[in-house]
Amino acid sequence: MSVRQLKENKRTRDGRSWVFIQYSKGLDGKRHQYQSQAYFTKEEATKAELEYLDKYKDVEVNPHMTFKEAYTLYYEYQKDKIKDSTLKTYRDRIKYMGLLDNIELVNLNWEHYQKWRTQMNKTNLCDKYKTDIQKFIKQVLNFAEKQWDFNLRKFYNKLEPFKTPGAIKKEMDFYEPQEFFQYISVIDDLRDKCLFETLYYCGLRRSEARGLQWRHIDFKNHTLTIAQQVLNLAGNNASSSWYIASPKTESSNRTIPIPEVLLKDLAELKKSNERFSKFKQTWFVFGDDVPITYHQMYSRNNNYCKKAGLRHIRIHDFRHSCASALISASAPITAVSNYLGHSETIETLETYTHLVKKDYANVPKFFDSLEKDFNKKSTD
């Protein structure tokens, strides 16, 4: 036991004089001392020490580590192991952790979680995004358990997805083929025409379209390869600080066929670019030696939506429009999944389940046509 009585000049004004002292190894490898608050009797201090030892048992390093210290160490640990874009996501998450920052990991409890959850519910963030932010907490806790043997299951198991009662899930928007043809008909600029045709016909993510270079287009085999994406660390509207990154997931690396209408326009666009002496195969298809910015994509889309007299859809909705067209054409869901570069088919089904259900209306017609064909052959 390390219970001791303080000297008279160290005692509290109300007469508490008994404390316990514990030592632990810090992250710096040095021995650190922890002195408890003062108690009135030796028995109280002894009981408090036993509770302390039980709470901090098995923790190898810095038993008083706060949540902020843990996520800072987690961030540093991940720096050379994950993409810059993922690190940026971690930085974006940290600003929501204020209520938990100074709480010791071993003291995290249900009340702390409920206060944090209440604060998150006061934001204008959607349930999915709040749940994604919460995943960062789980990652930090998992890291602390693995690295320093903290036992955080009691807190970890209280975390649950955000779900606002009665909330209506926001449906994605998309253009039907005729709407897209109306949209594309008002575009005079060839590069912009190719951009939005590529987004629609190939279902590219906006970052994938930004990263597309001429070397990724095989005019001979009529294919397009997604091998990279272009992202910004300084925000979507920044024209500088862009960088090339690998695709979002391993399955996002893909080679897909190019429709003839798009192939023809791309060939014409490349021909016009080749007139420049500095042209290279590494030029960006929708830029030049630098990629198109997000802001340019947004503003041009806004302009063309108005010009075509159509409702506004987001850049990402052209990807949804592609998926809708493929599903309406009865393309196998596995083909749609591979075409869009989803990690798993279940992701495609969950994202576009309402479209798949909508397409169920064609099933009776399909079986009716089979029966008619069978009856016709039987009577011939």
CATH number of the domain that residue 207 is part of: 1.10.443.10
Domain boundary among 34, 55, 76: 55
- Give a yes or no: residue 298 inside a domain: yes
> Are residues 206 and 342 both part of a single domain?
yes
> Are residues 197 and 289 both part of a single domain?
yes
CA quadruple 99, 101, 104, 109: dihedral positive or negative?
positive
User: Tell me, what's the pLDDT at 284?
Assistant: 97
> Are residues 236 and 279 both part of a single domain?
yes
CA quadruple 167, 168, 173, 179: dihedral positive or negative?
negative
> Are residues 294 and 188 both part of a single domain?
yes
User: Tell me, what's the pLDDT at 237?
Assistant: 55
User: Tell me, what's the pLDDT at 120?
Assistant: 95
> Are residues 340 and 311 both part of a single domain?
yes
- Give a yes or no: residue 31 inside a domain: yes
302-315 burial string, b = 16+ CB within 10 Å, else e?
eebbeebeeeebeb
- Give a yes or no: residue 172 inside a domain: no
Report yes or no: 266 and 258 within 8 Å, Cβ to Cβ: yes
User: Tell me, what's the pLDDT at 232?
Assistant: 86
- Give a yes or no: residue 253 inside a domain: yes
> Are residues 315 and 197 both part of a single domain?
yes
pTM over 0.75? The answer is: no
User: Tell me, what's the pLDDT at 248?
Assistant: 85
- Give a yes or no: residue 167 inside a domain: no
Strands 217-218 and 31-35: unpaired
User: Tell me, what's the pLDDT at 373?
Assistant: 65
Domain that holds residue 37: 3-55
> Are residues 138 and 102 both part of a single domain?
yes
User: Tell me, what's the pLDDT at 146?
Assistant: 84
> Are residues 90 and 218 both part of a single domain?
no
> Are residues 225 and 281 both part of a single domain?
yes
Q: What residues are paired with 64 via a beta bridge?
A: none
> Are residues 143 and 258 both part of a single domain?
no
> Are residues 133 and 29 both part of a single domain?
no
Return per-residue pLDDT of the chain as tens, 380 residues.
Answer: 588 899 988 899 899 999 988 776 654 456 767 788 899 999 998 998 888 777 666 555 677 889 999 999 899 888 888 888 888 889 999 999 999 999 999 889 999 999 999 999 999 898 889 999 999 999 999 988 888 878 888 888 889 999 887 654 556 789 999 999 999 999 999 999 999 999 999 999 999 999 999 999 999 999 999 999 999 876 555 556 788 988 988 899 999 999 999 999 999 999 999 999 999 999 999 999 999 999 999 999 999 999 999 999 999 999 999 998 888 888 888 999 999 999 888 888 877 776 666 555 554 555 556 556 656 666 66
User: Tell me, what's the pLDDT at 196?
Assistant: 98
User: Tell me, what's the pLDDT at 328?
Assistant: 83
> Are residues 181 and 151 both part of a single domain?
no
- Give a yes or no: residue 187 inside a domain: yes
How many domains does the chain divide into?
Answer: 3
User: Tell me, what's the pLDDT at 85?
Assistant: 80
- Give a yes or no: residue 356 inside a domain: yes
